[in-house]
Amino acid sequence: MVAINCNAQDSIPRSYGKAYIVGQSIYQGETIPHIKLPTHYVFAPLVFKNNRERKRYDRLVRDVKKTLPLAAEIRSIIIETYELLQTMPNEKAQQRHLKALEKGLKEQYTPRMKKLTLRQGKLLIKLIDRECNQSAYQLVKIFMGSFKAAFYNTFASFFGASLKKSYDPEGEDRLIERVVIQVLTGQI
């Protein structure tokens, strides 16, 4: 095997004498090493009109870093709950489990949710929609019923929020999506 010096690969440490195990692909009868590289996103630099816009962006980054892990936790809880409900023998057992789960979640998450600002709460509602592909209202309705969903949505409306808020990564939430991708890839 012949080593080829490529400038794009210079940052990768070389280890002559060591072997790396990589996948392989066969293309037109030739065996080719197959290495999957992580996706790297490149965004145009942001231009701010004034210092106020810069501070607003910095606040958004801070808020996303605080609420994105919560949205991911909620997604995993929903997946686990759904899978567990599928294994339960009857609806009565499911309702019992959901009540116990609701009580446990309130005890665990109420202190954390109280620490969120109103802006962070609204962002969390959008990020839940992003992570779960369903609005927070739909999720509450599925797991707790339409009465509680309407109650929680009415309560949120007192603070200017809505559980029915959807996430639009191509429209009004484009900047949020950019920040989320950068946070997930470790760019910021």
In this predicted model, what pLDDT tens digit does every residue of 45-80 receive, in sequence order? 888 899 999 999 999 999 999 999 999 998 998 888
In this predicted model, what pLDDT tens digit does every residue of 130-166 receive, in sequence order? 998 888 898 888 877 889 889 988 988 888 888 888 8
Three-class SS string for 141-186? HHHHCHHHHHHHHHHHHCCCCCCCCCCCCCCCCHHHHHHHHHHHCC
pLDDT attached to residue 57 = 94
Q: Are 182 and 43 a contacting pair, CB within 8 Å?
A: yes
pLDDT attached to residue 178 = 92
CA distance 120 to 72: 15
Both structure tokens of 128? 């839940």
In this predicted model, what pLDDT tens digit does every residue of 78-120 receive, in sequence order? 888 888 888 888 888 888 888 888 888 888 888 888 898 999 9
CA distance 151 to 162: 11
What pTM was computed for the model? Answer: 0.74
